[in-house]
Amino acid sequence: MKVVITGGTGFIGRRLAQRLLQRGAVAGPDGRETAIDELVLFDLAAPRPPMAPDGRLKIITGDIADPATVRRVIDRATGTVFHFAAVVSGQAEADTDIGYRVNLDGTRAVLEACRALGTRPRLVFASSLAVYGGDMPQVIVDDTPLTPQTSYGAQKAIGEFLVNDYSRKAYVDGRALRLPTIVVRPGRPNRAASSWASSLFREPLSGAEVVCPVSRKSVMAILSPRRLVTAIERIHDLPGERFGFNRTVLLPAISATAEEMVDALRRAGGPTAVDRIRWEPDAFIQKIVDGWPRAVLAKRAESLGIHADAGIDEIVQAFIEDDLPAQKALVAAG
């Protein structure tokens, strides 16, 4: 069976790809465990650094919003699509056109390519807590109304509704994951408004300085990459009947202020690491972050066997074990 990951050379796509190659099989459209014959990573650029060679792995570059290209990637051999390709929050807010082109038109292109197969492939869509905003409750729960206050959040909310509708019509066997901020992301900072949360750990532990654009009291709901990949696998493999009429699952998270993150950094890297942080407020980023949920209670996800990290120290330790050596090498290379 062929598996496609859009945004596949990005952080989440790459990590999931490594896990799937290791596993060797996933649930197919009929629910049975099926061997992965081909794993396609579709993105704007090839992975950097390159991934380890594997006869099942194929890299394709192209435009997610071009329907013809997407149809060539998602062909009759495709049994599963993980749709992660997206313009990040800060860029989508600053550039309305590119945000809607990639995050909305790209999602439509993926869904239409799946629909054209006539085989009801499984599809996992990455949504975001940015679908909430405005006058939110103190704690987000499974049935909290969607009230996005950014273009990115609106685009993700529309994507969730599309996945529901295409699943209702049996064009896909879809499910959407509503992601909190994923920490710690390795690599270089991006234009996501949440990028600072990873940077607070990533750069100082790697020996580099970092600028934090938000106040020490700013709160984020966070989940580790380890827990995220486990959640993606679990949600993908569950039968569609487990989701009922609502194909979106709010993922669990722990809540932490920037100050609490710095305390965890101090425990992991000592005062020298903390001294590498410079606090330089950015009103644009602060406004976006202030409009996001601060706490999550994801009972539905927990009932499906998906759980948050035990605490910030667990998240930091996972980064140290999984990514810090490569991150230090990246920083040293300049």
| 234, 287: one domain | no
Higher pLDDT, 287 or 173: 173
Place of tokens 């790809």: 17
In-domain check, residue 104: yes
Do 174 and 269 fall within a single domain? Answer: no
Above 80 in pLDDT, residue 11? yes
Q: Which residue has the tokens 């009929």?
A: 30
Instruction: Label residue 332 by pLDDT band (50, 70, 90).
Output: confident
- At residue 212 the predicted structure's pLDDT band, cuts being 50, 70 and 90, is very high
Confidence of residue 200 (pLDDT cuts 50, 70, 90): very high
Contact 79, 123 (CB under 8 A): no
The answer on 236 and 150 residing in a single domain is: yes
Does a structural domain hold residue 75? yes
Within a domain: residue 272? yes
How many whole angstroms from its chain centre is CA 238? 19
Angle at 135 between CA 132 and CA 138, to 5 degrees: 80
From residue 263, give the alpha-carbon distance in Å to each of 73, 120, 164, 203. 45, 48, 41, 15
Do 199 and 126 fall into the same domain? no
Which pLDDT tens digit goes with each residue over 125-140? 999 999 999 999 999 9
Mean of the per-residue pLDDT values of the chain: 95
**186 lies in some domain:** no
Contacts of 47 (CB under 8 A, 6+ apart): 9, 14, 41, 59
The least confident of 21-30, 183-192, 198-207, 257-266 is 183-192
Q: Which two tokens stand for residue 267?
A: 């425990």
Q: Which residue has the tokens 């679908």?
A: 131
Q: Could you tell me if 281 and 236 lie in one domain?
A: no
pLDDT score for 191: 75
Share of the chain above pLDDT 70, in %: 100
The residues carrying an active-site annotation are 152
Quick one: which of 115, 54, 42 has its CA closest to 84?
A: 42
Which residues form the domain of 266? Answer: 195-220+254-295+309-333
Question: Which residues make Cβ contacts (< 8 Å) with residue 55, sequence separation at least 6?
Answer: none
Q: Same structural domain for residues 76 and 139?
A: yes
Assigned domain for 263 exists? yes
User: CATH number, domain at 21?
Assistant: 3.40.50.720
From CA 91, how far away is CA 67, in angstroms rounded?
Answer: 22
**pLDDT for position 15:** 95
> Do 119 and 199 share a domain, yes or no?
no
Residue 163 contacts residue 248 (beta carbons within 8 Å): yes
Let me know whether 18 and 103 are in one domain: yes
- In angstroms, the CA 191 to CA 194 distance is 8
DSSP letter (8 states) at residue 252: P
Pure H helices in the chain: 11-23, 67-73, 89-94, 96-100, 106-117, 151-168, 195-205, 225-237, 258-274, 283-290, 299-303, 312-322, 324-333
How are beta strands 38-43 and 33-35 bridged, if at all?
A: unpaired
| Residues 141 and 243 reside in one and the same domain | yes
Residues 72 and 204 in one domain: no
Task: With respect to residue 136, please indicate whether it lies within any of the assigned structural domains.
Answer: yes
Cα separation, 86 vs 42, in Å, equals: 12
| Residues 205 and 79 both lie in one domain | no
SS3 (DSSP) at 238: coil
In this prediction, residue 192 has a pLDDT band, given cuts at 50, 70 and 90, of confident
Q: Residue 109's pLDDT is what? A: 98
Q: What is the CATH number of the domain that holds 322?
A: 3.90.25.10
In angstroms, the CA 113 to CA 70 distance is 7
One domain for residues 264 and 246: no
As a 3-state breakdown, the chain gives helix, strand, coil percent values, each rounded to 5, of 45, 20, 35
Q: Is residue 185 part of a domain?
A: no
Which pLDDT score, from 0 to 100, does residue 202 have?
Answer: 96
For residue 63, tell me if it sits in a domain: yes
Helix and strand numbers, DSSP H then E, in the chain = 13, 16
Q: Report the number of distinct structural domains present in the chain.
A: 2
Evaluate if residue 194 carries a pLDDT over 90: no
